[in-house]
Chains A and B, each alone.
Chain A
Amino acid sequence: MVIQQDKMQSLATRMSQDEVKGRSPWADARKRFLRNKAAMTGLIILIGVALFALLGNQFAQWSNEDLDFTVMGQVATMGMPSFENGHYFGTDDLGRDLFARTVQGTQISLMVGIVGAAIAVIVGTLYGATAGYVGGRTDQIMMRAVDILMSIPYMFVLILLLVMFGRSIAMLFLGIGLISWLDMSRIVRGQTLSLKNREFIEAARATGVPSWKIIIRHIVPNLLGLVAVYATLLVPLMILTESFISFLGLGVQEPLTSWGALISEGAGTMNYGTLWQLAFPLFFFVITLFGFFFVGDGLRDALDPKDR
């Protein structure tokens, strides 16, 4: 998956050109979004996955930590998905209920995705808006720093960080947060450059509003559409990064789990004929990515109708 820079550019120019017409552009966009079948399907999938993460534990008959001693040692024959013994998704290799584990993994992966994207959005927006608004030498130095950071092989640095300072969720957030805002800041800067010469900014400046207040009160709200689309597309990228790290066993640690860790476990045990251990986490992983990509694309098309 890639966030197509040229499309984001065209979205950026479009967002800055919006003139007030009879109907607000937001109402137009909402109508287009609701008419987009793929995006609505994606939205419904995401709502379903979110409900699964939030309410799943209500339906689980086993806790995610309890071992089911009746299936232990014979998981391949006894631990398969069944309604009779309450393991809807079967059990994992140690006899833990996979349904409860999947719920837990879904919660953590979604959290990592959303928090990671939120860090990226907040840091990237403020950084890019500041660089773009202040301009001049500050802008050059700030963007050159971004260029340098971008050419660092971040996955390796992330693993380096995790190994050296311990594998914890906090470190994972920090590591993901450190790198994910770079693209965002570039796009936001470009958008800010085109915004900052508009009349309403000039008016604010003429009435003596300080720069930081102009950035927060006038520039950032006008970036909202762009940021919303980008954030939606960032969440699956964050989930992918986290799953990649967890697949290697360097991310989320037991007793916590995530999709990546569950997929890794399932992939490790599939020789024994316990295919459900791979299938269920993989299913949720895949449909969630689908959901986010569809919604992101749909939002972009809705806000930027000339590019379809």
Chain B
Amino acid sequence: MFAYIMRRLAVAVPTLLLLIVFSFILMHLAPGGPFTQERELPPQVLANLNAKYGLDDPLWKQIINYIWGIVAHFDFGPSFVYPDRSVNELVAAGFPVTLTYGSLAFIAAVVMGVGLGVVAAIWHNSFLDYLAVGISIGAQVLPNFVMAPILVLIFTLWYGLLPGGGWSFSDPSFWIMPVIALGTSYMASIARITRSSMLEVLGSNHIRTARAKGMPEHRVIIRHALKPAMLPVISYLGPVFVSMITGSVVIDIYFSTGGIGKAFVDSALNRDYAVMMGVTILVGALTIVFNLVVDVLYAWIDPKIRY
């Protein structure tokens, strides 16, 4: 197991480096620098600014400096647009918010999706099954940017139950709509995956054996069916996790929650390349780490996998 994790890390580190180099080169290819403004700066000022941010060094040196800053000091450099703030500060301000509603949505989607799928599979072709399938088919065409306006329309504009935007760590009523908007379509996907894999497992030989020896049904399901049925779900957790972070872009814009999605879009509109790169690299690192965790979990649950 240890060797497997090491081998995966050996791929993950170059991937991350590649992502950094790729986005760095992209940034240089892009027309217009961070100091391009409508009124052109005097050449001396521009030269001084470039010297201050190290932009007059050769490209390879800039890349090495940038990577060294991240590796050695976890420092993503200063923001190009707000000179008094570093990328770290800008990202750190939004990260806890994204983490809160993102992980809540993740947990909600997984728990409800698995629950719905298992119920549908156990009572296959019953009213409950049709209800669950109906919900999951309906929910999968409701991505976060569709759910968000609909939720605001119903809960804020029509019934006035929930605040239509903003964020507070102490008041959960601010959390509800972001979590629902973010989680719904993934809950649907997870429910569908769970249902079909559960149905397949319930029809397999070892379940028939367990039933034949007189094991009560709830134990058959919990001890013998659930674990193998979870494998496809686990391999889907990586993409879900990524979508939670990606979706934060929409959530932050629509609900003004102020997470890292907001930092990203603001910097995109300001052409603040330093912040954009910082967020992209951070998200990339999180993705790689999470995928690693998922793969390890998968290998641990599935005895057929030799790593």
Contacts and interface: CB of A to CB of B under 8 A. Distances in A.
Given A153-B242, A248-B253, A161 B26 contact: yes
B141 A163 contact: no
Given A270-B149, A285-B146, A151 B15 contact: yes
A153 B185 contact: no
Given A6-B197, A7-B196, A153 B18 contact: no
A1 B232 contact: no
Nearest to B292: A151
B115 interface: no
B95 interface: no
B23 A4 contact: no
Given A160-B276, A164-B29, A243-B145, A2 B239 contact: yes
Contacts of B118: none
B249 A248 contact: yes
Contacts of A166: 31
Contact of A263 (B12, B149, B236, B276): B149
B189 A247 contact: no
Interface string B1-25: 0000000000110110011000100
> Which of A2, A285, A290, A293 has the largest number of chain B CB atoms within 10 A?
A2
Contacts of A244: 143, 145, 250
Interface residues of B, number: 56
A69 interface: no
A280 to B, nearest CB: 13
Given A1-B185, A152-B19, A267-B254, A159 B141 contact: no
A156 B279 contact: yes
A270 B153 contact: yes
A258 to B, nearest CB: 12
Contacts of A278: 149, 153
Contacts of B242: 153
Contacts of B287: 151-153
B224 interface: no
B141 A157 contact: no
B268 interface: yes
Contact of A151 (B140, B236, B269, B288): B288
A236 B276 CA distance: 28
B246 interface: yes
A164 B30 contact: yes
A153 B245 CA distance: 9
Nearest to B139: A1
Interface in B221-246: 232, 235-236, 239, 242, 245-246
Contacts of B245: 153
B119 interface: no
A156 B235 CA distance: 22
Interface in B151-168: 152-153, 157
Given A151-B287, A271-B157, 16 more contacts: A1-B188, A5-B232, A6-B232, A148-B15, A151-B15, A151-B288, A153-B242, A153-B284, A163-B269, A243-B143, A250-B268, A263-B145, A289-B140, A289-B141, A290-B141, A293-B137
5 contacts: A148-B11, A155-B246, A156-B284, A157-B280, A282-B146
